[in-house]
């Protein structure tokens, strides 16, 4: 039961901090105003991501107090350094939008801090390609989560499910398990204020750190699997757990390139936007995305724990379903 203390502490800290952040955000002008490329009709405070980060740090600290020994200090310090860097980049982008190149440079810097600072994964893994693959993967996941922070309740719910999936896969009482549960609790606390109609938005100061942390936990678990000589099952399982963010990133990149647009161009053409047009309700859209994310996470955990024929068949069917969904959504007109 002590394993869930980080979740509870993070949940309570986020629930308590976010109302105060809403007040400060309104007084300081930390507001997301409606524009032609956004879907919300009214000015809404930003800063929900800062409340999420506060909850995360409190929950992680509680986990480390419960189990103070046996953790890799270098790994934790690298996680924290990269987290603070990417949160600062996100906050600055919220205040004054960066150019895509400057934002990408910041994400790459945070990913390098994560990978080189922690020593995870082993640079010799994957025939010497482990570091560049890990950096590309971390940057991709940061952008995938940043892209999905586009509708009420979407990214918060995804973060809860993905983080719990990683916690289930992590060794008990490991830093990854405590950190993932703290992220899940903090995201759940944020979601209480962000589920439609949202009273606060996450902002880039939250969406980029969520992607960064999912990448950090995923890399730690993948590195452990490789070190144990595990076969492809755990690696496939990790990818499936974050399958929905990766699906949306792939979907929007392909559809925009097919339309002759830049992949990083803003627009209402994500999988969530098109689902919302089909379902006609943002709450239903969020619940469907949660269900899809849960299905992917369950398939990922099943494959990772027991890469048997039934679990691999479930993973294959899930991926085929996502492919079919992508083909259907591609026919939904983009606004």
Q: Answer whether residue 39 shows pLDDT above 90.
A: no
Q: Which residue has the tokens 């992508």?
A: 326
Q: Where are the beta strands (DSSP E) in 108-262?
A: none
Q: Answer whether residue 186 shows pLDDT above 60.
A: yes
Helix 282-305 vs helix 232-241: angle between axes, to the nearest 10 degrees? 170
Taken in order 247, 76, 78, 219, the sign of the CA dihedral is negative
**Mean pLDDT score of the chain:** 90
Q: Answer whether residue 156 shows pLDDT above 80.
A: yes
Per the rule left: phi > 0, alpha: psi between -120 and 50, beta: everything else, 203 is: left
For residue 44, give the H/E element and its range: strand 44-45
Residue 42 is predicted with a pLDDT of: 73
Q: Which of 101-110, 168-177, 195-204, 246-255 has the lowest mean pLDDT?
A: 168-177
Rounding to the nearest 10 degrees, give the CA dihedral for residues 221, 223, 226, 231.
30
Arithmetic mean of pLDDT, 125-142: 87
Q: Answer whether residue 285 shows pLDDT above 80.
A: yes
3-state secondary structure of 45: strand
Arithmetic mean of pLDDT, 257-261: 89
Residue 223 is predicted with a pLDDT of: 82
Domain ranges of the chain: 2-329
Q: Which of 18-22, 38-42, 291-295 has the lowest mean pLDDT?
A: 38-42
Residue 123 is predicted with a pLDDT of: 72
Can you tell me the distance from the alpha carbon of 198 to that of 115, in angstroms, rounded to the nearest whole number? 35
Residue 32 is predicted with a pLDDT of: 82
pLDDT tens sequence across 119-133: 877 777 667 788 899
Arithmetic mean of pLDDT, 195-203: 93
Arithmetic mean of pLDDT, 215-219: 94
Q: Among residues 9, 17, 10, 8, which one has the least CA distance to residue 55?
A: 10
Which of 25-29, 181-185, 232-236 is modeled with the greatest confidence? 181-185
pLDDT band for position 187 (50/70/90)?
Answer: very high
- Residues written for the chain: 335
Q: Answer whether residue 36 shows pLDDT above 60.
A: no
Which of 62-71, 155-164, 266-275 is modeled with the greatest confidence? 155-164
Arithmetic mean of pLDDT, 219-225: 83
Distances (CA, A) of 324 to 75, 294, 319, 330, 331: 39, 18, 9, 10, 11
pLDDT band for position 260 (50/70/90)?
Answer: confident
Q: Answer whether residue 87 shows pLDDT above 70.
A: yes
Q: Which two tokens stand for residue 309?
A: 């024929």
3-state secondary structure of 14: helix
Residue 67 is predicted with a pLDDT of: 76
Q: Answer whether residue 110 shows pLDDT above 90.
A: yes
- pLDDT above 70 coverage of the chain, percent: 93
* Long-range interactions of 16-23: CB distance < 8 A, separation 24+: 17/50, 17/51, 17/54, 17/55, 18/47, 18/48, 18/51, 18/189, 18/190, 18/192, 18/193, 18/200, 19/193, 21/45, 21/47, 21/48, 21/50, 21/51, 21/200, 22/47, 22/193, 22/199, 22/200
Phi and psi dihedrals of 108, rounded to 5?
A: -65, -40
Can you tell me the distance from the alpha carbon of 97 to that of 108, in angstroms, rounded to the nearest whole number? 18
CA triple 144-146-149, angle to 5 deg: 110
């Amino acid at each position: 039961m002590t394993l869930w203390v980080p979740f509870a502490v993070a949940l309570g800290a986020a629930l308590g901090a976010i109302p105060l952040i809403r007040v400060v955000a309104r007084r300081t002008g930390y507001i997301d105003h409606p524009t032609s490329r956004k879907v919300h009709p009214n000015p809404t405070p930003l800063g929900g991501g800062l409340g999420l980060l506060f909850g995360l740090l409190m929950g992680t600290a509680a986990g480390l107090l419960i189990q103070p020994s046996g953790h890799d200090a270098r790994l934790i310090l690298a996680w924290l350094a990269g987290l603070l860097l990417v949160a600062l980049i996100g906050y600055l982008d919220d205040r004054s939008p960066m150019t895509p190149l400057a934002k990408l440079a910041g994400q790459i810097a945070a990913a390098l801090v994560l990978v080189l600072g922690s020593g995870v994964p082993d640079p010799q893994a994957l025939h010497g390609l482990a570091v560049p693959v890990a950096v590309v993967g971390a940057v991709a996941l940061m952008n995938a989560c940043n892209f999905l922070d586009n509708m009420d309740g979407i990214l918060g719910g995804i973060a809860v499910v993905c983080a719990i999936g990683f916690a289930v896969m992590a060794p008990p009482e490991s830093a990854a398990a405590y950190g993932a549960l703290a992220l899940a609790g903090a995201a759940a606390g944020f979601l209480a204020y962000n589920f439609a109609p949202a009273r606060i938005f996450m902002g880039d100061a939250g969406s980029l750190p969520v992607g960064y942390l999912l990448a950090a936990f995923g890399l730690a678990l993948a590195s452990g699997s490789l070190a144990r000589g595990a076969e492809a099952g755990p690696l496939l399982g990790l990818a499936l757990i974050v399958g929905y963010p990766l699906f949306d990133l792939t979907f929007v990149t392909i559809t925009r390139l097919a339309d002759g647009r830049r992949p990083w161009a803003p627009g209402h053409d994500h999988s969530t936007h098109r689902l919302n047009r089909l379902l006609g309700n943002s709450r239903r859209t969020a619940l469907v995305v949660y269900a899809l994310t849960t299905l992917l996470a369950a398939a990922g955990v099943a494959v990772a724990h027991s890469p048997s024929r039934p679990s691999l068949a479930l993973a294959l069917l899930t991926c085929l379903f996502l492919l079919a969904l992508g083909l259907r959504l591609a026919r939904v007109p983009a606004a």
